[in-house]
Amino acid sequence: MVIIKTDREIKKMKDAGRIASKALKLAGEAVTPGVSTFEIDLIVRKYIESEGAKPSFLNYGGFPASACISVNNVVIHGIPSKECIIKNGDIVSIDVGAFFEGFHGDNAATFACGEISAQAQALIDTTKESLYEGIKMAKQGNRIGDIANAVQRYAEARSYSVVRDFVGHGVGASLHEDPSVPNYGTPGRGVRLLPGMTIAIEPMVNAGTHKVEILDDEWTTVTADGKLSAHFEHTIAITSDGPLILTLCD
């Protein structure tokens, strides 16, 4: 069931989104050669808790950390560790959520460590832009398929593939709500977008095949062919005035 939020609830979600967005920004600034993903996770947790919020992901379904930190061919759900040391040339996808006064904000971005290849930069740029192409379609009266198709068309036109096994989702008092928001689909199909709906649009774009594999830890998800992946996400509110991004820093 899709839950329609009131203006007051959307304002609360914007507060949660601000915290999640600032935590993501701090995490991205920490992506430097020699830092561990464990250290970045601590930065995320300390900031979120300093704002009186809780990390949305910590212990969610058993996930053991405050942020998902996924390096190079890891698509999503990378578990931070002291052994995972980031190197020059790596790309690092960080997914952060914050729970504040009853609501979640959820966002993600992929960051470059030092100097990265032109191919890696092109993948990051395409994934980020595909998110904004999807956001453009998050308008009253459109359907989920319009968002999905916009993401898919932008990525595939540049010879990338979109992950199909994992999708975006509704967000609110629960981290994951209806509706599902795929990154592939047919225009004019799916749930109709109404004011008060709040969704996370999150393209996961691979340099090679769209197929992924989940490792033995039952979390870490990697590209099936070992090629790079990037991930961007914003939490969006559907309004009568167009899409409102809720995960922005002040």
- The bridge status of strand 74-76 relative to strand 221-223 is antiparallel
* Sign of CA pseudo-dihedral 121, 163, 92, 170: positive
Nearest to 66 by CA among 54, 76, 83, 52: 54
CB atoms within 10 A of CB 82: 9
Q: Which residue has the tokens 């459109």?
A: 142
Strands annotated E in the chain: 54-55, 67-71, 74-76, 91-100, 103-112, 161-162, 168-170, 177-181, 198-201, 204-206, 212-214, 221-223, 229-231, 234-239, 242-245
Task: Give dist(CA 5, CA 217) in Å, integer.
Answer: 36
Q: Is the pTM of this model over 0.95?
A: yes
112 beta partners:
91
Cite the DSSP H helix spans in the chain: 7-29, 37-50, 118-136, 144-156
What number of CA atoms fall less than 13 Å from residue 217's CA on the CB side? Answer: 13
Give the span between the Cα atoms of 51 and 249, in whole angstroms. 13
Q: Say if CB 110 and CB 76 are below 8 A apart.
A: no
* Burial environment of residue 183 by CB neighbours within 10 A (0 to 12, 13 to 18, 19 or more): buried
Tokens coding 47 = 């900031």
Question: Tell me, what's the pLDDT at 249?
Answer: 85
Cis peptide before 33 (omega within 30 of 0): no
| 61: its two tokens | 């379904």
pLDDT tens per residue across all 250 residues of the chain: 999 999 999 999 999 999 999 999 999 999 999 999 999 999 999 999 999 999 999 999 999 999 999 999 999 999 999 999 999 999 999 999 999 999 999 999 999 999 999 999 999 999 999 999 999 999 999 999 999 999 999 999 999 999 999 999 999 999 999 999 999 999 999 999 999 999 999 999 999 999 999 999 999 999 999 999 999 999 999 999 999 999 998 7
